[in-house]
Amino acid sequence: MKPLTTEQIRAVIARGKLKDNIFKVMGIFCLSLALVVIVALIADMVIKGSERFTVDFFLNFASRHANKAGILSAWVGSLLVMFVTALAAVPLGVAAGLYLEEYAKRNWITNIIEINISNLAAVPSIVYGLLALGIFVYQFGFGQSILSAGLTLALLILPIIIVSTREAIRAIPAMIREGSMAVGATRWQTCRYHIIPYAMPGILTGVIIGLARAIGETAPIITIGALTFIAFLPPAPFSELGDGGTAGLFDWVMAPFTVMPIQIFNWTSRPDPAFEVNAAAAGFVLMAMVLSMNAVAIYLRYKMRKNIKW
Amino acid sequence: MQIQETPALKAEARNLNFFYGENKALKNINMPIYDKKVTALIGPSGCGKSTYLRSFNRMHDLYPGNRYEGEIRFFPDNTNLLSADVDPIEVRMRIGMVFQKPNPFPKSIFENVAYGLRVRGENNRRVLDDKVEHALKGAAIWDEVKDRLSELASNLSGGQQQRLCIARALATDPELLLFDEPTSALDPIATGAIEELVHELKKRVTILIVTHNMQQAARVSDYTAYMFLGEMIEFGKTDEIFIKPQDKRTEDYITGRMG
């Protein structure tokens, strides 16, 4: 074959670059499509709900009058449910992921467990709701409480946390593990001093992704029977109760509740169009909650990763 | 008549076989490791020298499907390191290891060296300070890091990181120190520093070093073993191995006709 002339080389490059550019344009188009959709969605909610962005909206309970209705019980409920969810799902998920990566022997039982964790992540959330209705609400007698809701959502996001924990652990090079074991550390010492701290940024990302998913879940919460109209807050620890007694530290977990998505769902299903304004405003608040959770996750991950280099 | 001083034995492999699953990686290895001497393992890639080295601190136990046969006797107490009754953690507490690529933990310089002590339950700050300083001096890196012990180890250069890893191994006073190609990721100057250090260290600790660099073996070791395809072809004093190897295969490797 004769070597290419300079002209021919340039022609080849030009052809290659044309494809480069076509792909670039397509990529930018797809990206902006996604961005436009989300920006339009948020803008729509902001514009529709703008007249409700007052302090009262955050401090009022639900009401029959759209302009007096607020999201106090909903956002408090959402936060408390998330708290229970995180408290239950994080230790369980991290421990399960750690066990599977660091301790479990590779055999067919582990393989089956692994496959089923992926399957669990794909189970429709309503099914978790049905399961929780049977187990938490009736069997354990937790009732239609924050505890039931928190545990339900914990089940829902457990696979996400397990999978992200395992991925974070797998990203730690074997030489770090070997370096620890080589000085005579046990598996647990290796996990405690190295694996868990170094996997923490990845675990945290998984936790927040899970919580962001959980905070928007409606179906399982409706299934276990969250109220749609609620005009009181769960009892704060050590506050005075109506019957003259004092609330215990954990009384609030057994209280009935509502959450943001249910409040939104409730408002959109009302005939009075004034409630749509409320729904839009509440939708924006929910969006803001999710986005700020993500922001915290990104910040923490950045801060923690800065010191972890191999 | 020849009067030959034979140094004390620190360890001895006896009929050692090793299997990665079905694959026999070490074939009937018999070899002494002499106390307070440097023994080098040389041989072409894949000959089993690292596999052999990692048998001493039971590193293979970390992964499933690995199996040992035979013994590695460890003296003076004549323990069989490979026995199922001996906890690999106990073995690793007595035998330190330095890896091919420097693998400091993403923690402070101080914590890297103190780690082995912490694992042994030592939390007294005074004791830790003392031992960390001693170990860093032993690894000839104290002067470079004494003013920044709380800085991240990853900020050190590759050669410094490797000496830090040596300090980490030294901090717990190992009886035997394993080096797995410790300079293969380092530049010639850093390599020189490590070699000098090995020379210094043999006054206090027995050393077994894998190297693919024959000049390095010749420079640092008292004894050399040539391995090929999982077998121990030849073992002897380094001078003798390099000047008049007994086996044709050793000679081929050393003279560069193979490998």
Q: Map tokens 């647990």 to a residue.
A: A188
Residue A88 shares a structural domain with residue A199: yes
Which of residues 78 through 97 in chain A touch B, CB cutoff 8 A? none
pLDDT at A169 over 90: yes
A310 contacts B96? CB cut-off 8 A: no
What is the rounded average pLDDT of the residues A296-302?
A: 88
Which of B117, B119, B175 is the best residue to mutate to test the A interface, defined by the most A CB atoms within 10 Å of its own CB? Answer: B119
Nearest beta carbon to residue A175 from set B92, B103, B106: B103
Within a domain: B139: yes
Tens-digit pLDDT string for chain B (259 aa): 455 667 899 999 999 999 999 999 999 999 999 999 999 999 998 899 999 999 999 999 999 899 999 999 998 899 999 999 999 999 999 999 999 999 999 999 999 999 999 999 999 999 999 999 999 999 999 999 999 999 999 999 999 999 999 999 999 999 999 999 999 989 999 999 999 999 999 999 999 999 988 899 999 999 999 999 999 999 999 999 999 999 999 999 988 876 4
Mean pLDDT within A157-184: 95
How many inter-chain contacts (A to B, CB under 8 Å) are there? 68
Largest CA distance in chain A: 99
Q: Does A11 share its domain with A144? A: no
Helix or strand run (H / E) with residue A35:
helix A6-49
CA A241 to chain centre: 33
Would B2 be classed as within a structural domain?
no
A80: its two tokens: 């408390």
Cα B4 to Cα A99, A290, A300, B14, distances in angstroms: 55, 78, 65, 23
Order the strands of the B66-74 sheet from edge to edge.
B23-34, B9-20, B66-74, B79-80
**Is A1 part of any domain?**
no
Is the residue at A301 inside a domain? Answer: yes
Q: Which of B253, B250, B215 is nearest to B234 (CA)?
A: B250
| Same domain for A18 and A92 | no
Min distance A305 CA to chain B CA atoms (Å):
10
CATH number at residue B15: 3.40.50.300
In a domain, A14, yes or no: yes
Contact list in A for residue B119 (CB cut-off 8 A) is: 183-186, 189
CATH for A297: 1.10.3720.10
Asked if residue A11 belongs to a domain, the reply is yes
Nearest to B64 among A106, A183, A186 (CB): A106
Q: Is residue A179 part of a domain?
A: yes
The answer to whether residue A275 is domain-embedded is yes
What pLDDT score was predicted for residue B3? 55
Q: Which long-range contacts (CB under 8 A, 24 or more apart) does B61-65 make?
A: B61/B88, B62/A177, B62/A178, B62/A181, B64/A105, B64/A106, B65/B20, B65/B21
Residues A283 and A176 in one domain: yes
Contact B193, B218 (CB under 8 A): no
Q: What is the mean pLDDT of residues A227-235?
A: 82
Nearest to A181 by CA among B92, B101, B64: B92
B120 contacts on A by Cβ (under 8 Å): 184
The pLDDT of residue A160 is 94
Determine contact: A307 vs chain B, CB below 8 A.
yes
Say what angle helices A146-170 and A196-215 make with each other, to 10 degrees: 140
Q: What pLDDT was estimated at residue B258? A: 63
Nearest to A182 among B57, B104, B106 (CB): B57
Q: If you compute the radius of gyration of chain A from its CA atoms, what whole number of angstroms results? A: 25
Residues A31 and A174 in one domain: no
Q: Which of A17-26, A155-164, A231-240 is predicted with the least confidence, judged by mean pLDDT?
A: A231-240
> Is A310 a domain residue?
no
Same domain, A20 and A168: no
Q: Which has more pLDDT, A198 or A248?
A: A198
Residues A38 and A60 in one domain: no
Q: Residues A257, A81: contact at Cβ < 8 Å?
A: yes
Question: Which residue range(s) make up the domain with A22?
Answer: 6-52
Q: Which amino acid is at B134?
A: H
Question: CB–CB of B197/B218 below 8 Å?
Answer: no
Does the beta carbon of B60 lie under 8 angstroms from any beta carbon of chain A? no
Instruction: Please state, in angstroms and as integers, the Cα–Cα distance from residue A259 to each residue in A72, A123, A127, A146, A161, following that order.
Output: 10, 22, 19, 10, 22
**B92–A182 C-beta distance less than 8 A:** yes
Q: For B54, which residue in chain A has the nearest alpha carbon?
A: A182
Domain membership of residue B3 (yes or no) is no
The residues, ordered by sequence, that sit 6+ positions from B236 with a Cβ below 8 Å of its Cβ are: B223, B224, B246
CA gap A221, A214 in Å, rounded? 10
Can you tell me the distance from the alpha carbon of A217 to that of B79, in angstroms, rounded to the nearest whole number?
60
pLDDT at B1: 47
A241 and A124 housed in the same domain: yes
Q: Is residue B97 part of a domain?
A: yes
The predicted pLDDT at position A273 comes to 87
Indicate whether A110 and A258 sit together in one domain.
Answer: yes
Tell me the average pLDDT across A167-186: 95
Domain of B79, in residue numbers: 9-254
Asked whether residue B34 is assigned to any structural domain, the reply reads yes
Based on the structure, what is the number of domains in chain B?
Answer: 1
One domain, residues A85 and A231: yes
> At a CB cut-off of 8 Å and minimum separation 6, what does B98 contact?
B162, B165, B166, B169, B177, B178, B179, B180, B182
Structure tokens at A213: 């998913």
Domain boundary among A14, A31, A52: A52
Same-domain check for residues A19 and A130: no
- pLDDT of res. A242: 73
Query: Do A114 and A210 fall within a single domain?
Result: yes
The domain total for chain A is: 2
CB-based contact (8 Å) between A184 and chain B? Answer: yes
In the predicted model, what is the mean pLDDT of chain A?
Answer: 91
> Does residue A70 form part of some domain?
yes
Q: What is the pLDDT of residues A28-87, one digit of tens each?
A: 999 999 999 999 999 999 999 888 888 888 998 888 888 888 899 999 999 999 999 999
Note the pLDDT tens digit of each residue in A128-168.
Answer: 999 999 999 999 999 999 999 999 999 999 999 999 999 99
